[in-house]
């Protein structure tokens, strides 16, 4: 879908981006009602600020920028209500994956040419499925770091977790995504 050209933004222009914004919000929040709410809040903020859109970026990029802030606000609000005990790390979680010398117990599978792999639609379908299978907070931490580009301090503040909890969540996300992709994409003949 072609992006709208820079310039005045109206409600119809904004509404055409709703499906992509909802998909992005669902990836982050994993709750349809919350995703709908943040997309709606994004649209309201965009309509109120339409005159401030200078056209330095595409309309979708501008909307995603607004959406990211709405998502972070929602995550912060919901994380205040959760117990932090569930995020504590255990050495038992990581020990089976490594040998005593620190090397992987099972060498990661050869994924082939990364550039070619990333361009394949099937990879992204498998990746989204794997990301959706992660626990909610683990997926949020991973997406905040790797998709949204937030640093550890911002992730910790958004999720109300400690730095060590954040690193554990990121580690677990990467390991579980690796396992899932090897099973559902590499092992399934996806490349």
Over residues 86-142, the pLDDT tens digits come to: 555 555 666 677 778 777 788 777 767 777 766 667 778 888 899 999 999 999 999
41/127 same-domain check:
no
Would residue 127 count as lying in a domain? yes
Would residue 33 count as lying in a domain? yes
Last residue of a domain, one of 31, 51, 80: 80
Number of domains in the chain: 2
CA atoms lying within 13 Å on the CB side of residue 134: 29
118/159 same-domain check:
yes
Domain range holding 22? 11-80
The whole-number mean pLDDT for each consecutive block of 10 residues of the chain, a chain of 191 residues, reads: 49 85 88 92 86 75 89 83 54 69 78 68 83 92 90 91 94 94 74 53
59/90 same-domain check:
no
Q: Is 112 exposed, middle or buried (0-12, 13-18, 19+ CB in 10 A)?
A: exposed
């Amino acid at each position: 879908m072609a992006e709208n050209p820079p310039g005045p933004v109206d409600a119809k222009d904004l509404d055409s981006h709703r499906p992509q914004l909802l998909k992005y919000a669902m990836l982050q929040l994993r709750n349809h009602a919350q995703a709908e709410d943040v997309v709606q809040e994004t649209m309201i903020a965009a309509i109120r600020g339409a005159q401030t859109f200078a056209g330095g970026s595409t309309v979708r990029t501008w909307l995603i920028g607004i959406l990211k802030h709405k998502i972070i606000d929602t995550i912060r609000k919901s994380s205040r209500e959760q117990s932090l005990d569930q995020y504590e790390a255990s050495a038992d979680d990581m020990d089976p994956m490594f040998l005593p010398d620190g090397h992987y117990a099972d060498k990661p599978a050869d994924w082939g040419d990364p550039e070619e792999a990333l361009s394949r639609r099937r990879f992204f379908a498998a990746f989204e499925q794997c990301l959706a299978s992660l626990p909610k907070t683990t997926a949020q931490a991973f997406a905040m770091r790797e998709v949204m580009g937030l640093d550890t301090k911002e992730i910790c503040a958004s999720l109300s977790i400690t730095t060590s909890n954040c690193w554990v969540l990121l580690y677990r996300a990467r390991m579980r995504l690796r396992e899932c992709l090897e099973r559902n994409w590499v092992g399934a003949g996806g490349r």
